[in-house]
Amino acid sequence: MPSFGTLETPVGVIGVSSDGAAITGVAWRSSAPPGADSAPDALLGEALGQVKAYFDGALKVFDLPIDLGPQTEATSAVLMALHDTVRHGETVTYGGLAERSGTQVPARGIGAIMGANPVPLIVPCHRVVAGDGLGGYSGGDAGQGIATKRWLLEHEGALPTALF
């Protein structure tokens, strides 16, 4: 049975799911998904500790096994290219990530893949931006996606702090 735990962060309550072997989900939610157990396994405890350290500014690279679930080959390639090549404090455009992934996925398709990322923060989809601005973001509390993306990028030093 998967384990689930939550952590209060500056951008809302984040829920993390683990199957004991890998992190299977990260989402802005305070209640467990159906079938999840609130008794944390060791990996979930480690993941929650790493997420806390990230928000405290003490962690720049997550060191956790992840399971992206069933994905197409192109989707997996794009998500793993993001995970493996875009570091803390960096951003990449949708088109740039398409090139890095070696797939034929167009920039608009990259945006859809980012929206379907099952483990945001760990696979840092907030670091993918449009060529002319922030682009979209489906993370964060309802209606707070862009504000959450901005906060995360400012937190990492990838975006100057907003004046307003």
What are the C-alpha distances in Å from 48 to residues 16, 27, 53, 133? Answer: 7, 12, 9, 31
So which residues are the catalytic ones? 125
The rounded distance, in Å, linking the Cα atoms of 139 and 125 is: 9
**Torsional sign, CA 118, 82, 97, 105:** negative
The rounded distance, in Å, linking the Cα atoms of 15 and 81 is: 24
| Residues pairing with 8 in the sheet | 13
